[in-house]
Copies of this chain bind each other. A is one copy, B any other.
Amino acid sequence: MDVMTLPALTSHSLADQAYRALRAAIIGGDLRWGAKITERGLAASLGVSPTPVREALRRLEQEQLVERTGPRSLRVATVSPKARTESGIIEAALEGVAARFAAEKATERQLAELERLLDTADEAAFLLRADRDAGRTLNPVQVERIFDAVRTFHAGVEAAADNAQLARALEQVRAFSRNERLSIASAQLAVSSPGQLRRYGQHREILAAVRDGDPERAEQLARTHAASAAADLAGWDA
């Protein structure tokens, strides 16, 4: 038998589903930081027995998305400013490494895709600037569009780096240092804050370095870029 499509090894066990659901709920903000959780309570909410929920909680605990307050009590992890700063440092370093290897290994097709994404983002940014200059409220569709394009750009750089372990490490650290709420807020500010605007422009510079095959410069730019974004985020919750 020849392999035509990947076997889709997605285990659909209840434990897996519970894990994904809880993780998404925590990162997405539906389960707020510090919220008390119980195995039986979550099991009832999800409509399953406590066993698979327990398994999911263990995995989340390993990711530090769930923490213990005592021997018999759990809660959604609270992220201290210090922890957020620490994660930001790591994230920046890893993004730098991703850009470095993207510069070494990116294919022409990948480069074209990255360029297309930035064009899309620029287009949305242009429309948003028009909104702002005319005193209109920002079009949420375009806000979402620019946000998605930028996020996909970063994902594309990681993909071009072709390092599965790196992608995995980045996903871990991101889940911890960021949540969707903050990211969306960040995107909404992207067209107004001068600092954010400058940072937005850096995407083009990173891509240029990647395209030129200049790993040193690509790493330097991407790392500074990510560190700056992380520093801003860190300043938001005093």
- Measured CB to CB, the residues of A under 8 A from B are 9, 11, 15, 54-55, 58-59, 62-64, 68, 71, 83, 86-87, 89-90, 93-94, 96-97, 101, 163-166, 168-169, 172-173, 176
Contacts and interface: CB of A to CB of B under 8 A. Distances in A.
A24 to B, nearest CB: 16
Q: Chain A interface mostly helix, strand, loop or mixed?
A: helix
B173 A165 contact: yes
A97 B71 CA distance: 34
A169 B166 contact: no
Contacts of A164: 83, 86
Contact of A169 (B9, B62, B71, B90): B90
Contacts of A94: 90, 93
Contacts of A172: 169, 172
Given A58-B55, A68-B9, A163 B97 contact: no
A215 to B, nearest CB: 12
A39 to B, nearest CB: 12
Contacts of A55: 54-55, 58
A171 to B, nearest CB: 12
A90 B158 CA distance: 13
A59 B64 CA distance: 12
A89 B176 CA distance: 22
9 contacts: A11-B71, A58-B59, A86-B163, A87-B165, A89-B97, A89-B163, A89-B165, A90-B166, A93-B97
B89 A166 contact: yes
Nearest to A83: B165
A179 B52 CA distance: 31
Contacts of A163: 86, 89-90
A161 to B, nearest CB: 9
A101 B86 CA distance: 11
A58 to B, nearest CB: 5
Contacts of A169: 90, 169, 172-173
Nearest to A51: B51
A205 to B, nearest CB: 21
Contacts of A63: 62
Contacts of A68: 9, 11
